[in-house]
Structure 1
Amino acid sequence: MNDFVGKAHLERISGQIRDYLRRWVGDDLFRRLLKNTSQLLGGSIAKSALGFGAVLLAARGLGPEKYGILVLIQAYVTIIDKLVNFQSWQALIKYGADALEKDDPTSFKRLIKFGTFLDAGSAVLGTLVTIAVGWILGVWGVQSMQFTWLMMGYSGVVLSNLIGTPKAILRLFDRFDVAAIQQIVAGVLRLGGVVGAFIMDAPLWGYLLAWLVGEVAGHLLLLGLGWRELRVRGYLGIFSASVQGITKTYSGLWNFVWTTNLNGSVRMTSRRMDTVIIGGVLGPAAVGLYEIAKKFATILNRLSNPLYQAIYPELAKLWSAQDREAFVRLIFQLGAMAGAGALLVWIGALVFGTSLLNWTVGAEYVGAYSVLVWYMLAVAVEVAAFPLQPAMLAMGHPRKTFVVHVVTTVLYFGALGGLLYIYELPGAGMAYLVYYLAWTSIMAGLEYMILSSGSEKVENSEVESATGTP
């Protein structure tokens, strides 16, 4: 009798699970999201494979120390770019989704013009700042003059970074297939340049030039594809649209732009400043090992990055339509799916990491295993929690996200300093795990509070306090 009851109970539970999975997979929104994600993921995997090939060749061709110098140049330039770049695509998706939902082409064109001017201004400013910082590093003796000239030359990446607006255009119109093509083309160009540098046994500047050409070409291609999509959709005469009074029409626009810029800057600081700190504490060779560990670990990001790009426009549309149930369900669905995949990859790295390093980049880089395991575990937590960031932005709370990033970044650098002192290079991976455990806990708690306590009231009061609205 007990066996019969137990069997019936198990059959009932399994039936409930099957029904739940059937509803989950049968959800139209979920299917569309998976389609967009698969297109982005295909491009991201191809780009990742091409980029990883370039990294492996550069690491083998240059050795840990020179490869560490190349990484430091890229880190300085990337940090400056992210500090100055206004991340216009996030604001354009937030407010552009509203304009498209209301079928208001005039407002949409005004937003596109606003974003284009923002991209151009930040690109020029970022280039000037990069050149100035490079010169100061050389004059003050922080880096060699060769480092300075290479960094100043690599500033072309910043000048061509006009991709915020076209990125928003393609995502708002679900043209994730086009974005995937752009990623592949940029990756092919970069890898081709690195292969040439490797065959010719080129010096450091040859490898850096290969990265420069790939990045600039990718930026320009995305710019052209975005504007082509606008013409196809019938949005002509963008520059004849007036942006006068646009911040009155969208009272929270500047607040959103500034906050997402600061938020992105803080996030990038946590991801790139660590390289600069490790270089100062342990030297360029340690940077080379650390960067290889990061490159392997960010394979996991290839799971979450396409999902992030696909989920944010959908969350913005759901929030605009006030469909809270679908909003929350989408967060849980994508987080669970990405987290499960990330955990499997981490287990594989734990078991086969040493052999993988030895086979790919050589015995010189086997010392990266100890930091790889910790860093990849941290990225697994990041991947599982990836929906929290776009959800907060879609709800119109960029300032809360910024505050969380500031607090957790301060915690991260404190942990990084202490753990580097105690454990040396492996401590860097441990510190990153501390960072993402703290970030995930705080973000999840905040979003639960917002959704439970009447988010419309919270959103409106936040915008009013930021814009001075009485």
Structure 2
Amino acid sequence: MILLESLLKKTRKYRLAWQAEADLHGRLKNIAHLLTGNFASAFVGLAGFALTARALGPADYGLLALSFAYTRGIERFVSFRSWQPLIKYGAKALQVGETDDLKALFKFGLLIDLATALAGWGLAVLIVLFAGPLFGISEEMSRFVLIYCAVLPFQVTGMPTAVMRLYGRFKIVAYGQVAASILRALLCLAGVYLGWGLFEFMLLWMASQICSSLNRTAWAFRELRKQGLTGVMWVPLGDIRTRFPGFWSFSLWTNMALIIQACAFEFDTLLVGYLADPGSAGLYHIAKRVAKIAQQAGEQVQAVLYPDLSRVWATEGIDEFRKTVSQTGWLLFAFGVCALIGAHLTIEWVLRVTAGPGFEAAASLVMVQFVAVIMFLCGRTLYSALLAMGHEKILLQSALLGGVLFLFTAVVLIPRVGAVGANVAHIVMSGVWFVQMAIAYRRKLDSKR
């Protein structure tokens, strides 16, 4: 009886403590929407990739994967990621009701997005035309890549992302991409049934990327009108440096850090293709797509966590800040371990059923990649924390060291052990990134005591 009463008291205590965490409830709800939408979209997207791989085979799918990876890498390299400064300065303007500042921010962000998208397209084409022959890239490969580069001028993401996150429209973002992924997978299924070849599937994937970007921008302007922010493109910009002090320095450091990471995540498939062969690149790409399903958790948690941490840090709520970071970090670690166990139990069956027997060799690559994903998930929480604390230079330093070690490890291992060398390189990079940020985070918090 005494044991039962003690158990009931503890249960009541934990229930009351849970009910008191209103901010955590809202944060978890938004994260749940994003994770549900992204997992559903990732699984459906994986089905689309698997159908494409089944229709084309490892060699042709490798060509498509390399074209996809090249354009994604260029996009990540030149993208200004305007959503980071737009959220940082937009949250302040939103809090004090400065609608003109909000309009100017969104207009400036969109102009930056358009300029970088066009610059990315020009850079991608020039690299293929002038550097391709130097590295022995075949004419067929160069031709396919040049065609696929046509998606780059349409990749406008920063301003739409900032709008939807600032106004908390996570549900629209989450489930809108699910609908797009379902449509793309159905078209891939139709392509398999109709016997499409490499060129037709390439056009399909290009069209899906372009339409997705245009749809995202349309939703952002719809949300602005809903919030009463009309005539955004007609508002005068004025002097951005005066209206938003520190805008350029904040943007520069954070973008450089993300560019370094993006190069590793997007150009790794190209490294495998160049240092090994297109078939290995295809297997590696499939493995990375599977692991990315779990990796999406870190990106979506940051989407919700970064604005919350910025507000808490501004009010100097150190204890709440520390608690939020700790809760989220352990949550992501537990999720990563569960994902690793689930992948170990099911990955061979998943690859055999989806991509086909020819892609079962990617199972070992998936397992190694999941180790890097766990480190990446834990690091995402610290990244958001340091960003909110205003320590962008530390983020750049950790990303730079991790990127250098990634490149060294990949170049040394891929020619010797194949595609798994790129997976090991990701483990090295994510581990160094996490350790450096963890040390910096502890030091900065201790200095606030």
State the TM bucket, normalised to the shorter chain: over 0.9
Tell me whether 1:368 sits opposite 2:362 in the alignment. Answer: yes
State how far apart, in whole Å, the 1-side matches of 2:84 and 2:12 are. 37
Comparing 89-98 with 125-134, which one deviates more in the overlay?
Answer: 125-134
State how far apart, in whole Å, the 2-side matches of 1:385 and 1:25 are. 28
Tell me whether 1:120 sits opposite 2:111 in the alignment. Answer: no
State how far apart, in whole Å, the 1-side matches of 2:270 and 2:414 are. 13
Partner residue in 1 for 2:98: 104
State how far apart, in whole Å, the 2-side matches of 1:293 and 1:17 are. 43
Q: State whether residues 98 and 320 of structure 1, in contact with CA within 8 Å, keep that contact through their aligned partners in structure 2.
A: no
Q: State whether residues 379 and 437 of structure 2, in contact with CA within 8 Å, keep that contact through their aligned partners in structure 1.
A: no
Deviations 1:108-139 (A, max 9, x none): 22211211111111111111112222323555
Tell me whether 1:250 sits opposite 2:244 in the alignment. Answer: yes
Cα separation, partners in 2 of 1:253 and 1:210, compared to 1, 3 Å:
same
Residue number among 76, 85, 99 corresponding to 2:79 in the alignment: 85
Question: Any gaps of 5 or more consecutive residues in structure 1?
Answer: 1-6, 456-470
Residue number among 45, 49, 63 corresponding to 1:51 in the alignment: 45
Cα separation, partners in 2 of 1:344 and 1:152, compared to 1, 3 Å:
same
State how far apart, in whole Å, the 2-side matches of 1:76 and 1:211 are. 14
Q: For 2:380, what is the secondary structure of its paired residue?
A: coil
Tell me whether 1:143 sits opposite 2:137 in the alignment. Answer: yes
Cα separation, partners in 2 of 1:412 and 1:138, compared to 1, 3 Å:
closer
Tell me whether 1:449 sits opposite 2:448 in the alignment. Answer: no
Cα separation, partners in 2 of 1:339 and 1:210, compared to 1, 3 Å:
same
Cα separation, partners in 2 of 1:97 and 1:17, compared to 1, 3 Å:
farther
Q: State whether residues 329 and 378 of structure 2, in contact with CA within 8 Å, keep that contact through their aligned partners in structure 1.
A: yes
TM-score with structure 1 setting the length: 0.89
The AA in structure 2 aligned to 1:61 is A
Cα separation, partners in 2 of 1:237 and 1:179, compared to 1, 3 Å:
same
State how far apart, in whole Å, the 2-side matches of 1:12 and 1:35 are. 31
State how far apart, in whole Å, the 2-side matches of 1:450 and 1:13 are. 39
Report % sequence identity. 29
Residue number among 339, 346, 369 corresponding to 2:333 in the alignment: 339
Q: State whether residues 110 and 243 of structure 1, in contact with CA within 8 Å, keep that contact through their aligned partners in structure 2.
A: yes
Partner residue in 2 for 1:271: 265
Displacement of 1:229: 0.7
Displacement of 1:356: 2.9
Displacement of 1:89: 0.5
Deviations 1:228-274 (A, max 9, x none): 11111111232333222121222210112222222221111111222
TM-score with structure 2 setting the length: 0.93
Count of paired positions: 449
The AA in structure 2 aligned to 1:96 is G
Partner residue in 1 for 2:128: 134
State how far apart, in whole Å, the 2-side matches of 1:68 and 1:25 are. 51
Partner residue in 2 for 1:428: 422
Q: State whether residues 62 and 279 of structure 2, in contact with CA within 8 Å, keep that contact through their aligned partners in structure 1.
A: yes
Displacement of 1:303: 2.5
State how far apart, in whole Å, the 1-side matches of 2:12 and 2:393 are. 40
Question: Any gaps of 5 or more consecutive residues in structure 2?
Answer: none
State how far apart, in whole Å, the 1-side matches of 2:8 and 2:392 are. 41
Deviations 1:120-177 (A, max 9, x none): 1111111111222232355546322232232222223211112211110110011111
Partner residue in 2 for 1:289: 283
Deviations 1:314-350 (A, max 9, x none): 1222223332222221111122112212211201222
Comparing 224-233 with 33-42, which one deviates more in the overlay?
Answer: 33-42
